[in-house]
């Protein structure tokens, strides 16, 4: 696992955009894994800026979302499909029909989850998966005690996640759905490269557990230790509880360019 401690969240976003730009240079039809939440917004903004100056294009790329609420009507402003349209799809030149997400309105949830797994496979798998992390260590919506080999399925959100996400629902936890469909940890671990972005002190413990804790279903992010190609891009506050900080900085500073992305 590589740990990049950036000067700021904006700097971290720009480094993640560098990785995506680098991928698109050699693979115009790249498959991106896109996360919602506030953490990746800076990355999408930076990609948008680079698209608008002609520096890169996502016109031939496709994208797969991580998760979706269950119980929100299609088009609900907080449905993750709407959120991804707003924060990602509209900002770049990707073809909206190639941005996919799990169907949180499906009557047959099991079939919808299986279809989503199949769609990812058919697309050739995810080249770069962008991840945020919850304060309780969840990745996508894989809450603590999620199976480390889980696939796309329905999950119940923890109270903490519903409290955290109530800011998008007028501060009312009762308006936050109780269930979601989410790629499993096993699904996420099949992405070829994972970039996790985290900023702010509220993420410091989840980051510490992810990087330096034991691999444990209690801190789902720690499953990333099993993946051979993961980079965490942190602001100083999110990195504040790590113990080997000096080592991470040293590794980052001396990384040969060819090894960077």
Residues 202-231 that bind ligand GLP (CB under 6 A): none
Q: How far is the CB of 162 from ligand GLP (least distance, A)?
A: 9
**What is the dihedral sign for C-alpha 140, 126, 1, 231?**
negative
Cβ proximity to ligand GLP: between 50 and 155 the closer is 155
Q: How far is the CB of 250 from ligand GLP (least distance, A)?
A: 28
Interface with ligand GLP by CB under 6 A: which range of 10-18, 29-37, 102-110, 236-244? 29-37
Is 133 a binding residue for ligand GLP by CB under 6 A? The answer is yes
Phi, psi of 190 (to 5 degrees): -85, -10
Q: Which sign does the torsion angle of CA 140, 116, 187, 151 carry? A: positive
Measured between alpha carbons, how far apart are the two ends of the chain, in Å? Answer: 13
**What are the distances in angstroms from CA 11 to CA 19, 27, 256?**
13, 24, 19
Considering only residues 7, 8, 25, 38, which one is a binding residue for ligand GLP as defined by CB under 6 A?
A: 38
* Tokens, residue 198: 């985290």
- Residue written as token pair 């909206």: 96
- Can residue 134 be called a binding residue for ligand GLP (CB under 6 A)? yes
Least distance (Å) from ligand GLP to the CB of residue 238? 10
Interaction of residue 101 with ligand GLP, rule CB under 6 A: no
Residue 39 binding ligand GLP, by CB under 6 A: yes
Q: Helices 9-26 and 41-52 sit at what angle, rounded to 10 degrees?
A: 50
Minimal CA–CA distance to 64: which of 230, 222, 182?
A: 182
238 near ligand GLP, rule: CB under 6 A? no
Query: Which member of 66, 72, 206, 234 binds ligand GLP (CB under 6 A)?
Result: 66
Of 43 and 133, nearer to ligand GLP (C-beta) is 133
**Catalytic machinery residues:** 67, 136, 138, 143
d(CA 61, CA 45): 17
Residues that bind ligand GLP (CB under 6 A): 35-39, 66-67, 132-134, 140-141, 161, 165
């Amino acid at each position: 696992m590589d740990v990049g401690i950036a000067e700021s969240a904006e700097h971290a976003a720009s480094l993640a955009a560098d990785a995506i730009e680098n991928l698109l240079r050699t693979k115009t039809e790249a498959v991106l894994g896109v996360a919602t939440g506030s953490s990746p917004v800076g990355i999408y903004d930076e990609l948008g800026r680079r698209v608008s100056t002609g520096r890169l294009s996502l016109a031939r790329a496709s994208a797969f979302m991580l998760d979706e609420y269950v119980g929100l009507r299609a088009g609900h402003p907080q449905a993750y499909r709407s959120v991804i349209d707003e924060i990602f799809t509209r900002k770049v030149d990707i073809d909206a029909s190639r941005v996919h997400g799990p169907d949180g309105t499906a009557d047959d949830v099991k079939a919808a989850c299986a279809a989503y797994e199949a769609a990812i496979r058919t697309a050739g798998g995810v080249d770069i998966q962008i991840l945020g992390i919850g304060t309780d260590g969840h990745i996508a919506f894989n809450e603590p005690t999620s199976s480390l080999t889980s696939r796309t399925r329905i999950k119940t959100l923890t109270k903490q996640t519903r409290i955290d996400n109530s800011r998008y629902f007028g501060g009312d936890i009762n308006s936050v759905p109780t269930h979601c469909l989410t790629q499993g940890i096993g699904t996420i671990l099949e992405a070829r490269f994972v970039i996790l972005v985290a900023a702010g002190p509220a993420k410091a413990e989840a980051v510490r557990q992810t990087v330096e804790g034991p691999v444990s279903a209690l801190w789902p992010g720690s499953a990333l230790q099993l993946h051979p190609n993961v980079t965490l891009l942190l602001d100083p506050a999110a990195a504040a509880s790590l113990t080997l900080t000096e080592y991470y900085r040293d590794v980052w500073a001396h990384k040969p360019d060819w090894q960077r992305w």
